[in-house]
Amino acid sequence: MSSRSCYSTSRAVIPRLIGVVHLLPLPGSPGYAGSFDEIISRSLNDCKAYLEGGIDGLIVENFGDVPFTGGSVPPIVIASMTRLTAEMKRHFPEVHFGVNVLRNDAESALSIAYAVGAEFIRVNVHIGAVVADQGIIQGKAYDTLRLRKNLGSGIRILADVSVKHSAQIGAYGIETQAADALERGLADAIVVSGSRTGEAVNMKELQLLRSSFPNARIVIGSGADGRNVKALLKYADSVIIGTSVKVGGVTSNPVDPRRLKDFVRAASSSK
C-alpha cells in the first residue's frame, strides 16, 4: 500500500507522553464505593504524580465503570467525568488533557472535552465494526466529525486500529484499518495497542504502519514500559502509559513515582 499524505498531520496538541488517569468507579456503576470525594482525591493525586514525574499530557478514562456499555453512557457518567476533568484542569492548568469515554462513546467524550477545554479524545472504534465483550460495536465517525464541526472545535481525534479487547469484523488488516481511519474517518492520529490492557503492541505491525503512513501521527495505546519505550518511539510519535507505571503494575492502583521516573528516563533517552 502506498504512502499517504492527504490527511491531517498536526502535532500541536497531542503530547509525546500521555499518562492515563484511570478513574475509580463512578456513581451508578456496580463498583461505586459511595464517595465522590475519594474519586476526586485519587484523580488529583495521580495527576500530581504524573506531572512531577515529567508527564504533561493526561487522558481521563472511566476505567472503573465495568462492565462497559457498547453504546452511549448514562448522563451521570457524563456529568461525573465533566466535573472530574474540570477539577483536574483547575488544579493543573499547564497539562494537556484528553478524554476517553469507555467503551466507545465518542460524542460524550467530545462534548466533555469541549466543555472543559480538553485538547483531544480517544475513540476505540472510530470507523468499521468490532466484536467485543459488549457485543458488536460500530464506529460513528460520521456523527463524531459532524459534532466537532458544529462545535467549531479543533479537538483532536485519536482513533484506535485493531483496538484491544476486540476482534475486527471483516477481513481488514491493520494497514487498511489505518488508511480508512485517516482518510475516510479523518482521524488526527491512529492508536496502536496490544490485544489487552497492558499488553505490548506487535512491533512488526507498528513498523508497517510507520512505513506506510510516514506523515501520520502514531500513538502507542498499551504495553509501553521502561524496557520497550525507546524502541517504540523509533516508530511512534506518542505513547499512552498507565499500567506499567502503577503500583505493582496493576492498572487500578495509584501511580508509582519510582516506576514513572524509570519510564520517563527511558523515554527521554530516545530523543
pTM of the model: 0.93
| pLDDT, position 5 | 39
List the Cα angle 249/25/136 in 5-degree steps.
90
Question: Residues of the chain with pLDDT > 90: what percent?
Answer: 87
List the Cα angle 156/195/110 in 5-degree steps.
20
Cell 516508530 maps to which residue?
235
| pLDDT, position 2 | 39
Domains of the chain in sequence order:
17-268 (3.20.20.70)
CA contacts within 13 A on the Cβ side of 238:
29
Please give the mean pLDDT across all residues of the chain.
93
pLDDT band of 199, cuts 50, 70, 90: confident
- Tens digit of each residue's pLDDT (9 = 90 or more) over 78-111: 999 999 999 999 999 999 999 999 999 999 999 9
User: What are phi and psi for residue 18, nearest 5 degrees?
Assistant: -125, 115
| Residue 10 reports pLDDT greater than 60 | no
| Residue 221 reports pLDDT greater than 80 | yes
